[in-house]
Structure 1
Amino acid sequence: MVFIFYAFAILSLAVGTAAVYMTLIQSFPVQWSYYHYFIRKPFTWAVLVAGVIGTLLMSWQIDELPLWTLPPLILMALAVVLAHRVHQENAFKAVDFPAMANNPLKLPLQDNMELAVIEYNGVTKAYPLDYVIHHHIINDRFEDKLVALTYCAMCHSIIPFDVTDIGPLFVGSFKNANMIVADKKTKTFFQQASCESVIGKLHPYTLTMIPFQVLTWSEVKKLKPCPEVVKVTKQDFKAFELPVKGLWKKVIANGLTPGLSSKNRDNTFSPRTHVVGITDKIANPQVMYLKDELLKQGVVNNEELGVVLVAVNGSVLGFKSSVEEKPVSIEPGANSTLCDTKSGTVWDVRGKFIKGEIESNLVPVAISDEYWFSWKLFHPGSKLVHCK
């Protein structure tokens, strides 16, 4: 009987903590994480209840409490706690429909803080990445559309999705050092970086990306009108940590990719080398640039794709190199503006028309600023283009 109690206690602990080791060990299929999501709570609770009932029955039979059952019962109770607490759904709790600030200029934002700026369905909102990283997913309304802004800290992959048809997302798991997102209605699992479903009621299904930009607060607050900005406090900008304190610093410092072994990643560059990939459908095959080269070059014109990449204050923005079928030659202008050297037309940093001959906005192109290891893993057919 002692062996049975301890065997179930250990098994319950294994199930309660499986969300951690199944994401760290690459050989575990993501499908196992999917099924574990559903069984972890019922199983650990069932073992604990059975253990308590067994202890009570033995107490009734021998007319005293069998003290040897207490250690395995404690382990069973711990397994229940861990099944709830250490799962990624709770470690990185998604935010649904956050409040927007009445006066964004009064928020505790520093000029160098980066914000994801999303313009969709006639609404423009901005979210500080130092806030988003703690939750990994922000679900928000853009009038009658629902958008899920996803940010995988491990691979620096930032992607907003239109989830109007399937509802809000949450963090379902991690696989290959990238976040697995899931919808709350059906619990279908999606690989965030590839946008493709993995398993679940909606499979096969592809999430719809929407364009966005990453800008510093110094640039965002200059915009006219200023976008809506999520209401944040200083507490929202505490240092990011994994559930194990201090582990995140070690991961970053040592270039580790937990859940993705070095033999399964492209080691041409350091894993966390920043690359900028063009994710827009006009790029087939997809292309990428080293971000440091883009920042140094300032402006890169990809004539083959009809795309221009512009570096502004540490951020890289992508636009089509023509407006209303008229080619433009974009260069950074004064006061964080963009200008066409041919016509003298001026746009703000987001490509909104200010003045000049071409009275139209620039057309944004979807790009991704993420880590080398992640881009190469989930975009294996893309090619690296060096700035000239």
Structure 2
Amino acid sequence: MSPANSDKMTYRFLGDSGLLVSKLALGSWMAREDYHTMDAWYEMMKTAFARGVNFFDNAEMYGSGQAEEVMGGAITKGVEEGVWSREDLVVTTKLFFGYKGYTESGPNDQGLSRKHIVEGARASLRRLQLDYVDVIFCHRQEPHTPIEETVRAMNYVISQGWAFYWGTSEWLASDIREACEIADRLGLIRPIVEQPQYNIFTRGKVEFDYVDLYKKYKLGLTTWSPLAYGTLTGKYSSGKPDGSRFSKPGFASRVITPSYEERVEVADKLKPIAKELGCSLPQLATAWCVSNEHVSTVLVGATRPEQLEENLKAIEFVDKITPEVKAKIDAIYSVAPSVPGVDPLAFLRKRHLKSSYCCRSRIPELDQVE
């Protein structure tokens, strides 16, 4: 089976593999308080698939496992109704946080130990109602587990047929390099893809830190948040709309560089460029991400099929993101390399340790993390 209307979608290889993925993908992030029915998600997946999308991303933590459950139901329904076959889809999930929440998991319910990777992979497959996923990611780096243990565990998952490839998400370049070197030394399968945040405001890892990894390992990228948590939609010019992310208490404080206010100002300055190209600001921001040749696919999200259709039209404007257009964007906002900071998630498993065990961390500043 093939997408009904995929003439405008094009594909790229996922890193140094033979797997072709659509340049735009559907992400399924949801908070615990969000609720999507299986039927609603099925309509979203059908909308994406009809426009050539074959890459569908998930994670054990999204909606405390609910995102995997509704996606699994939607995939099954699509197969039963003849909309797609399992072979048509590239399905991914991510392990690290567990499905019980950031701080509610037990000592071994999260992290990148062999135990959690194996148990987490099996649990994700049950929720997804699948025999395998195409790619399984380490959702974050874990300072308390040796990278070799993680590499061996991911190799085991692949050897069991539960996944075809594995990757990382928001890892430091040095840790990805170490994982690749360990895999090569031991004759194991190395990660082929990294999933970092990438947008006009957040470029450090993609445009600076990972450059050597592209050259040496042909590392692929599946990037997320092309609209920078929604600040590149342009809808915040007149304030924070009710129901938006930034209307929620404390959300704006998560955005540090640049600040929420600066992001809104930059978004307004980018609108004339979008108008000149004949697209919306969200389409400009997404097409800009796709225009980076190192990006295999860009994850987009939406709450309604109509919104998703508009976001997917960004593929039509990728060729218009010329060096001249990029220069105009850089003149409004550009990014310089920076030194990676302290891992903000190191506390997740540290809380289960006695202080004397903190020496196992490979991050010297770990004790400064609250």
Q: Same fold (TM over 0.5)?
A: no
Structure with more strand by fraction: 1
Which of the two has higher C-alpha Rg?
Answer: 1
Structure with more helix by fraction: 2
TM bucket, shorter chain: under 0.3
